[in-house]
């Protein structure tokens, strides 16, 4: 058996390592491609506009019809994904705020984008969140809301109007201040 020269072995290892390490950005690039492919600037929902209606499946089964099922409630529509590093810490951090205000009419719809139910279920199990998890397998609802990054949160008032949004990671303090403005 021929021995591989050390300089070639280290180069091959570096190429393999760099290729493998680059793969972690693949889900983000795929999401960006899906979002941009159907991006229509006229259809992006802005603050103070009616929230777009949608029907998505719950992770635990059954459909959710928004806004029909949530009339008269304050709704946080939160887009996220398992591979999103900010989502891992943000989702459990927002849960205590949700628990504090849910009896005052707050609904939290955590919409997972482009992932398989088994992967979502495993992720949710590690976070211990108590709010509703929905599946957006094609990213259609996320595109409709114009969220070009994850996580993204849209706050909808009791009349179904988007009053604020956060693109990127939110803190419990920011989330609570958005809720208080709508109570």
Query: For 104, which DSSP code?
Result: G
Residue 155 sits in a domain whose CATH number is 3.40.30.10
Helix (H, G, I), strand (E, B) or coil at 160: coil
Q: Which domain holds residue 19?
A: 6-180
123-146 exposure pattern, b = at least 16 Cβ within 10 A, e = fewer: bbeebebebbbbbbeebebbbbbb
Does any domain span residue 16? yes
pTM: 0.78
Does any domain span residue 39? yes
Q: What is the pLDDT along the chain (183 residues), one digit of tens a residue?
A: 545 444 434 444 443 444 444 455 555 545 555 444 444 444 567 789 999 999 999 999 999 999 999 999 999 999 999 999 999 999 999 999 999 999 999 999 999 999 999 999 999 999 999 999 999 999 999 999 999 899 999 999 999 999 999 999 999 999 999 999 999
Give the Cα separation of 10 and 16 in Å (integer): 10
Total domains in the chain come to 1
Does any domain span residue 138? yes
């Amino acid at each position: 058996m021929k021995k591989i020269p050390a300089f070639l072995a280290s180069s091959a290892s570096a190429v393999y390592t760099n290729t493998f390490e680059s793969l972690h950005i693949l889900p983000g690039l795929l999401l960006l491609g899906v979002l941009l492919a159907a991006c229509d600037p006229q259809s992006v929902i802005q603050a103070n506009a009616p929230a777009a209606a949608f029907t998505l499946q719950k992770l635990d089964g059954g459909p959710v019809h928004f806004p029909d099922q949530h009339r008269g409630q304050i709704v946080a529509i939160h887009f996220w994904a398992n591979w999103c590093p900010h989502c891992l810490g943000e989702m459990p951090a927002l849960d205590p705020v949700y628990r504090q205000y849910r009896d005052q009419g707050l609904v939290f719809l955590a919409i997972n984008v482009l992932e398989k139910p088994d992967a979502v279920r495993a992720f949710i199990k590690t976070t211990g969140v108590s709010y509703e998890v929905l599946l957006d397998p094609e990213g259609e609802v996320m595109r409709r809301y114009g969220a070009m990054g994850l996580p993204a949160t849209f706050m909808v008032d009791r009349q179904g109007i988007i009053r604020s949004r956060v693109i990127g990671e939110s803190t419990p303090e920011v989330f609570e201040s958005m809720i208080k403005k709508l109570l």
